[in-house]
Structure 1
Amino acid sequence: MASTRATKSGFAAEAQMKINSKYNDQHAHEVLDWIATVTGDSIDTSGDMDSLHETLKDGTILCKLVNQFQAGVVKKVNTSTMAFKCMENINNFLKAVTDFGVPTQEQFQTVDLWERQNLTSVVICLQSLGRKASNYGLPGIGPKESTKNIRNFTDEQLKASEGVISLQYGSNKGATQSGINFGNTRHM
């Protein structure tokens, strides 16, 4: 577990401090509040790193959250506190999130949450999932995602552009470099 590891030092400590400096308590509070609303659980929504980690660490709330999106998407939620069972819950959550359309660059790795390595990425993943919530009839967080706006053009409209010469092809108007002669001419 993370509590039995030695404290980081040197470059590792600097890198961890840089990662931790990006953490935003307000965003974490919004995400935890949203999770409490969707799941109906009473959880600590203070938003500090400790409360976020302790609330989500075992993965049961995350599995319950994605099961609100689609019933039975996580078939078995492990209630054991053994490390690998908790990490399996987190991994099942990540598989479900991928199916719901959260991009992989907005997801986190299991160890980011379990070992508290990068809680900022956990918050980003949950915010991205929160934007998808309105597509499943649940209250969402953050800006509403855009929808398709398909346009159909007639053949006449498409052919109208063929008579226009783009400026990318150049122009014979305007200033040219003809007649420019700087300095002395080249003598052979």
Structure 2
Amino acid sequence: GSSGSSGNRLLSKYDPQKEAELRTWIEGLTGLSIGPDFQKGLKDGTILCTLMNKLQPGSVPKINRSMQNWHQLENLSNFIKAMVSYGMNPVDLFEANDLFESGNMTQVQVSLLALAGKAKTKGLQSGVDIGVKYSEKQERSGPSSG
């Protein structure tokens, strides 16, 4: 376990209803079954990487199928990178450990809902109406640090 509690509490709490919507959306797009435990089903990253390749073909060129922890974490970090290149705001992203360590499933949920909204904004047709259209934030003018 990690010592010290983070004082930065999210306003939203975990919503099982939204989890059900996400499950339907992800399974519908990937054709893969997440299983009864949402966190366990997603934590190896293969389903998420497959999802990303459906939304943006080729965005995750290599998906590790191994059960090694570091391979699974690599999948997750590739998925997160792919979300960035898909146009997501960094504030909407979760970290690999949020899902892998099951430390912050609320943030994972927020990210996936934002991703669903982003996909909708880009005109993705899916069987589930999920997520709100992604709000384009005002770009700051000036040099972007990359």
Per the TM superposition, whether the score is higher than 0.5 is yes
Query: Is the 2:56–2:86 contact (alpha carbons within 8 Å) kept by the matching residues of 1?
Result: no
Q: 2:15 aligns with which of 16, 20, 24?
A: 24
Give the structure 1 partner of residue 43 of structure 2. Answer: 57
- Secondary structure of 1:28's partner? helix
1: CA distance, partners of 2:23 / 2:83:
17
For normalisation by structure 1, the TM-score amounts to 0.62
Q: Decide which of 46, 54, 78 is 2:64's aligned counterpart.
A: 78
Distance 1:40 1:109 in 2: 25
Structure 2 distance, partners of 1:136, 1:58, is 28
Report 1:65-104 matches (<5 A): 65-104=51-90
Residue 146 of structure 1, CA deviation: 5.9
1:131 paired residue number: 117
Shift of 1:53: 1.0
Tell me whether 1:141 sits opposite 2:130 in the alignment.
yes
Report the Cα offset of residue 101 of structure 1.
1.4
Cα distance in 2 for residues equivalent to 1:133 and 1:42: 20
Q: How many residues align?
A: 131
Q: What are the superposed Cα offsets for residues 14-36 of structure 1, whole Å, 9 maximum, x if unpaired?
A: x69x77x9211111111111101
Number of the residue aligned with 2:139: none
User: More helix by proportion, 1 or 2?
Assistant: 1
Q: Is the 8 A contact 1:69 1:138 kept in 2?
A: no
RMSD between superposed Cα atoms in Å: 2.4
Structure 2, gaps ≥5 residues long:
137-146
TM-score, normalisation: structure 2: 0.79
Higher relative contact order (CA 8 A, sep 6+): 2
- Give the secondary structure class of the aligned counterpart of 1:86: helix
Shift of 1:136: 5.0
- In the other structure, the counterpart of 1:40 is 31
Distance 2:108 2:95 in 1: 8
**In 2, distance between residues paired with 1:79 and 1:90?**
12
Cα shift at 1:42: 2.8
Q: Structure 1: which 5+ residue stretches go unaligned?
A: 148-188
